Amino acid sequence: QVQLVESGGGLVQAGGSLRLSCAASRRTVSSYTMAWFRQAPGKEREFVAAINWSGGSTNYADSVKGRFTASRDNAENTVYLQMNGLKPEDTAVYYCAAGQLGIRPTTSNYNYWGQGTQVTVSS
């Protein structure tokens, strides 16, 4: 079983930045694809970004391309999401996920999920 714990969320003004972290409980996650999803009130969970086990391949939703960057530190069993140029429409609960398939943008690709961290962007 893999446990994922997100941190780094908060309240920020539009145009600001936040860095989310996702700490994994097991070292084996270093071989997993890691992803970030988000869910706004009343909306379905949507894909944000994914990064493969080595960090050499990434996938981003069109809505965040050029603003968000996913990275990972396998020695620390931690994945990051650097979010710049935040917009009010980025407001959501952000979830970290782990899976053993490719950097696919679908929730069914991922077996393990964190509890989420709230990101609120004020206008």
For residue 93, the model assigns a pLDDT of: 98
- Tell me what the pLDDT averaged over the chain comes to: 95
For residue 103, the model assigns a pLDDT of: 92
Residues 27-73: tens digit of each pLDDT: 778 889 999 999 999 999 999 999 999 999 999 999 999 999 999 99
The DSSP code for 106 is S
Quickly tell me which residue has 């714990």 as its tokens: 5
Question: Strand pairing partners for 119?
Answer: 10, 92
Residues 6+ apart with CB under 8 A from 53: 30, 31, 32, 33, 74
Q: How confident is the model at residue 92 (pLDDT cuts 50, 70, 90)?
A: very high
Distance CA(73)–CA(123), nearest Å, equals 33
